[in-house]
């Protein structure tokens, strides 16, 4: 492709990375343009002077990490605006429509960010896998860490948000002094298993796949143009509805946080798909759209599950009050 067009794509990717940086560290907002120019000069200099793939790999990795961070950060801003609304103002129908709209807006934004990756790696050296995208594991782990940093600056843990270095130190101290109970230990064990499956299943030589999941994959391959990833339509996308339900129904803050991490995983998976240049671009693009469509259907199941759970807890709560 034309080098000037590639340089323009690199400039856009540099802007995306700079935007994510100031969202993670709001104190650096006033230096946003300085940071963007510095990234731009570094990557453009390497590109034009060395003609190596290093700046392309750097920016592609940056886009794969920063796109879900930016998208989820925008979703968190929306959650803050909606935080004080009671569930009685929303209702199940509006919750579903709102969640579907947010899912598709977030998905389209993630696909736009993913375009940078295809534009940067659309090089014969990557298409023939003479060079490869590096940092697949990082694209799964780092967005979770960065979104966690953004989350504690917007939502209160231990009574208040983290707004300064001193607040962060106090947060770490309180976190380290949390009493370990059997329930918490069991929860950490479940998270460890989920983390092993999440990280171990990434890449070409991951953890083994159970037979029922293989059957599900074959069914999706037969019925859809491109099979979406399970971590998107079964995990990340329905978590948007569940996180809004947690917000409106005043569920525990830790549960809302974990659901936001699930949303991050779903959006990050959509973007990471485009890092595999051996797959045609249009296949990855339609795979993302298929994931959004399947995620919409999964939201129906999630909504029914929440409604049933709410009815059960209300039923037993009323019976408990009469005893």
pLDDT in tens, 2-46: 889 889 999 999 999 999 999 999 988 889 899 999 999 999 999
Q: How close are the terminal C-alpha atoms of the chain, in Å?
A: 74
CB 153 within 8 A of CB 111: no
Other beta carbons within 10 Å of 142: 18
CB 96 within 8 A of CB 89: no
Q: What residue ranges in 89-227 does DSSP mark as E strands? A: none
What is the structure's pLDDT at 320? 41
Where along the chain do its domains lie? 65-322
Contacts of 180 (CB under 8 A, 6+ apart): none
What is the structure's pLDDT at 204? 53
Alpha carbons within 13 A on the beta-carbon side of 221: 6
CA distance 288 to 231: 12
Contacts of 12 (CB under 8 A, 6+ apart): 116
Per-residue pLDDT of the chain (323 residues; tens, 9 = 90+): 688 988 999 999 999 999 999 999 998 888 989 999 999 999 999 999 988 889 999 999 999 999 999 999 999 999 998 887 766 677 888 999 999 999 999 999 999 999 999 889 888 888 887 888 888 888 888 999 999 999 999 888 767 788 777 777 777 777 777 666 665 566 567 666 666 665 565 555 555 667 777 787 888 888 888 888 888 888 899 999 999 998 888 888 888 898 999 999 999 999 988 888 778 889 999 999 999 999 999 999 999 988 888 788 765 445 444 44
């Amino acid at each position: 492709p034309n080098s000037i067009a590639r340089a323009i794509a690199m400039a856009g990717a540099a802007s995306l990375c700079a935007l994510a940086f100031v969202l993670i560290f709001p104190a650096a907002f006033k230096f946003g343009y300085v940071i963007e120019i510095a990234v731009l000069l570094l990557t453009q200099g390497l590109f034009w002077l060395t003609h190596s793939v290093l700046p392309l790999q750097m920016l592609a990795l940056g886009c794969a990490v920063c796109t879900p961070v930016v998208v989820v950060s925008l979703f968190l801003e929306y959650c803050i605006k909606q935080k004080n609304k009671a569930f009685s103002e929303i209702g199940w129908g509006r919750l579903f429509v709102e969640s579907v709209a947010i899912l598709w807006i977030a998905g389209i934004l993630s696909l736009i960010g993913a375009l940078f990756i295809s534009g940067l790696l659309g090089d014969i050296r990557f298409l023939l896998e003479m060079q490869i995208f590096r940092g697949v594991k990082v694209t799964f782990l780092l967005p979770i860490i960065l979104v966690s940093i953004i989350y504690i600056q917007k939502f209160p843990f231990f009574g208040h948000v983290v707004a300064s270095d001193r607040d962060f130190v106090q947060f770490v101290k309180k976190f380290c002094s949390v009493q370990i109970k059997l329930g918490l230990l069991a929860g950490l064990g479940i998270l460890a298993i989920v983390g092993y499956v999440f990280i171990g299943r990434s890449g070409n030589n991951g953890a083994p796949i159970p037979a029922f999941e293989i059957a599900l994959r074959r069914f999706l391959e037969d019925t859809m143009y491109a099979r979406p990833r399970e971590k998107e339509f079964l995990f990340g996308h329905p978590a948007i509805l569940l996180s809004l339900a947690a917000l409106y129904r005043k569920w525990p803050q830790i549960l809302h946080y974990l659901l936001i991490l699930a949303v991050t995983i779903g959006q990050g998976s959509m973007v990471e798909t485009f890092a595999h240049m051996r797959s045609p671009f249009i296949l990855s693009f339609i795979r993302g759209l298929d994931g959004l469509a399947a995620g919409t259907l999964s939201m129906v199941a999630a909504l029914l599950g929440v409604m049933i759970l709410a009815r059960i807890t209300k039923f037993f709560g009323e019976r408990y009050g009469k005893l």
